[in-house]
Chains A and B, each alone.
Chain A
């Protein structure tokens, strides 16, 4: 280490010698002034705290804005095209433009889904997102399975869980038929947080998967059966 050399800065800052002794009055006045200034400083801190708190309200509101929206705010009916575009007994990929988008969303605003036409006007519309971690599931018509590429989740044709890490069946969109067109209620990425779990059926082989389809659907095989429980909507 270098020894302390005379620094020009000390000269610039001036001589900081102690106050002249014996000037009690001056010291007293200085102390009083200090006390007043310290009080004012505390007051200014308080004022800044208050201003900061007021300022924080819009900032926090802005930040939390997206979190405060309700699911129903985003969901609206979207058309997937004419019913005739979905042959009976088949499951097909359909895409729709998300009802809530920004002009700079580009392709990300297009959302795919799987449409299963069981027969006539009986449909099931599944979200593309695996119920495990949201990866896009793929339909294999020959083995009648949805398979997920990420961790190997598998679902039967009715969306119920077949195997792998998912704890539940595929997410289903509420749907309706208006005139000749199939519409679904969509707008939000489906996650376990918003979607009630599909009721697990006793026999997965029978293919009678979702007792509580979002639209209160009963599929082909269970169509003639009574509702499973008293509280379920028939």
Chain B
């Protein structure tokens, strides 16, 4: 055995004499870090890097089979899923790896923000990190396009529609994005180039820069309340802290990174194994219009915001909000490079993280069940509860039939089934009088289309009669207060009736 070790060492020396890389790498690995940073809170950056490596490896492996041609891409994914040994698992790893990477990058972002790590002298590290976040999201979007299915096709349509609203140059930008007049072959190849060459190239280069700065400036020390960052004293304080409490990054601190990275990889593998690959959903044939396109998880919140913005605000918000958000993130370390780092002394920062996380969470949750979308087949698939048909006159039952036939159910639920776009119709009679329902049905308003053209007078009567029965026994029907006044007042009103 000693002989083997000697031989191994000799081979290492042979390479090291010529490469000279071993020593700087070992020095970098063993550099001292403040002992307080050997924490489970400091593992997210390295986990993101490990996931990036996983994405590169699985991406290259998928590239062995994937065909970036609009006519063949979908079929090549089906081939990967069903005909290539373990192709489905590689696709699942890549897909779940992407979701995990976005999650870990966001957690890493929140952690360094709350720990004040963006302050002097690590401003540029943060700025590069902001670009890394954008590139990661860019990878997620372009990757979703490469999964060239219905969602990808119409997702491109959404992207093009958004770009087309850019003032003056919108039309040219759409052409540039699509690579031609419609979403077709040249569109997929340019997203392939973006996903496989351009964005990963920039991403890897910036990750290198990010890591280089972490090594050069030292990992952010665990913040303490009252330990103020000042440009004049910080470098000296940090050096003293490292000297006093320093431990070697490898192995004293890095074992936590390694354990966490392994756990994350295991989690990705478990999800891939259990849930399988993402799609592909239906083939990217635009003539198949029975589809409800939806973006991937990371973009659901944008999808939801686009449903709730008032139409007139949409275009300005689409173009001004991203500039403001990214601008604020880039300027943050420059405007706030000194002062307190500890979260307990930065309540606004904590509040911001909480509010942003809750907001994104709510919008994402809404995006998972899209209450704003009509349910296109509710009118044929969800029957009227029988309880709502008992003891009804023939005219009212005719109205129930019309409620189905006129597709009211696509937007209005009855008995808990149907669309959520409009209010549920159970108990509508307690909220609206017959006259109000007639007006609402015929003229629409409040986000409801007018049905005056789609209903004959007799149909309207039947439908409204049925709707006026939709209340429970012990709930009073809505009444028109003014009518009551008119009908009960004649004796008193008589003297003034001449006016």
- A residues in contact (CB < 8 Å) with B: 1-2, 7-9, 63-64, 66-69, 71, 74, 93, 95, 98, 100-102, 104-112, 128-129, 132-138, 140, 142-145, 147, 149-152, 154, 156-157, 162-167, 187-189, 191-194, 204-207
Q: Which residue of B lies closest to A154 (CB)?
A: B449
Whether A162 and B449, one on each chain, are in contact in the complex, defined by CB atoms closer than 8 angstroms, is yes
25 A-B contacts (beta carbon < 8 Å):
A71-B171, A74-B181, A93-B287, A102-B180, A106-B185, A108-B183, A110-B286, A112-B289, A136-B154, A138-B290, A142-B407, A143-B406, A143-B449, A147-B374, A147-B376, A150-B154, A150-B293, A154-B374, A163-B449, A189-B181, A191-B164, A191-B174, A193-B165, A193-B166, A193-B170
Whether A105 and B70, one on each chain, are in contact in the complex, defined by CB atoms closer than 8 angstroms, is yes
Whether B284 and A165, one on each chain, are in contact in the complex, defined by CB atoms closer than 8 angstroms, is no
Whether A110 and B287, one on each chain, are in contact in the complex, defined by CB atoms closer than 8 angstroms, is yes
Whether A144 and B454, one on each chain, are in contact in the complex, defined by CB atoms closer than 8 angstroms, is yes
Contacts of A129 in B (CB 8 A): 157, 161
Whether B286 and A112, one on each chain, are in contact in the complex, defined by CB atoms closer than 8 angstroms, is yes
Contacts of B411 in A (CB 8 A): 152
Whether A93 and B286, one on each chain, are in contact in the complex, defined by CB atoms closer than 8 angstroms, is no
Q: Is B135 an interface residue (CB 8 A)?
A: no
Whether B453 and A150, one on each chain, are in contact in the complex, defined by CB atoms closer than 8 angstroms, is no
> Which 4 A-B pairs rank lowest in CB-CB distance, beginning with the nearest?
A106-B71, A191-B164, A162-B449, A134-B157
Whether B283 and A107, one on each chain, are in contact in the complex, defined by CB atoms closer than 8 angstroms, is yes
Contacts A66-B175, A192-B164 aside, 18 further interface pairs with beta carbons under 8 A come to: A1-B27, A9-B20, A64-B176, A66-B180, A67-B175, A105-B184, A107-B286, A108-B70, A129-B161, A132-B161, A138-B290, A147-B374, A149-B293, A150-B154, A151-B307, A152-B373, A193-B165, A194-B171
Whether B161 and A191, one on each chain, are in contact in the complex, defined by CB atoms closer than 8 angstroms, is yes
Whether A101 and B449, one on each chain, are in contact in the complex, defined by CB atoms closer than 8 angstroms, is no
Contacts of B421 in A (CB 8 A): 152
Contacts of B185 in A (CB 8 A): 101-102, 104-106, 108
Of B23, B179, B293, B450, the residue contacting A204 (CB under 8 A) is: B450
Of A64, A156, A163, the residue contacting B453 (CB under 8 A) is: A156
Interface centre among A8, A142, A157, A191 (most CB of B within 10 A): A191
Whether B286 and A136, one on each chain, are in contact in the complex, defined by CB atoms closer than 8 angstroms, is yes
Of B161, B289, B376, the residue contacting A192 (CB under 8 A) is: B161
Q: Which residues in window 388-421 of B have CB below 8 A to A? A: 405-408, 410-411, 421
A230 CB, nearest partner CB in chain B, Å: 29
Of A162, A165, A189, the residue contacting B444 (CB under 8 A) is: A162
Contacts of B314 in A (CB 8 A): 165, 167
Whether A188 and B170, one on each chain, are in contact in the complex, defined by CB atoms closer than 8 angstroms, is no
Whether B184 and A205, one on each chain, are in contact in the complex, defined by CB atoms closer than 8 angstroms, is no
Whether A133 and B157, one on each chain, are in contact in the complex, defined by CB atoms closer than 8 angstroms, is yes
Contacts of A64 in B (CB 8 A): 176
Q: Is B39 an interface residue (CB 8 A)?
A: no
Q: Which residues in window 93-110 of B have CB below 8 A to A? A: none
Whether A167 and B285, one on each chain, are in contact in the complex, defined by CB atoms closer than 8 angstroms, is no
Contacts of A189 in B (CB 8 A): 157, 160, 174, 178, 181-183
Q: Which residue of B lies closest to A189 (CB)?
A: B182
With A134-B161, A152-B374, A165-B314 already in contact, the answer to whether A143 and B289 are too (CB < 8 A) is: no
Whether B174 and A165, one on each chain, are in contact in the complex, defined by CB atoms closer than 8 angstroms, is no
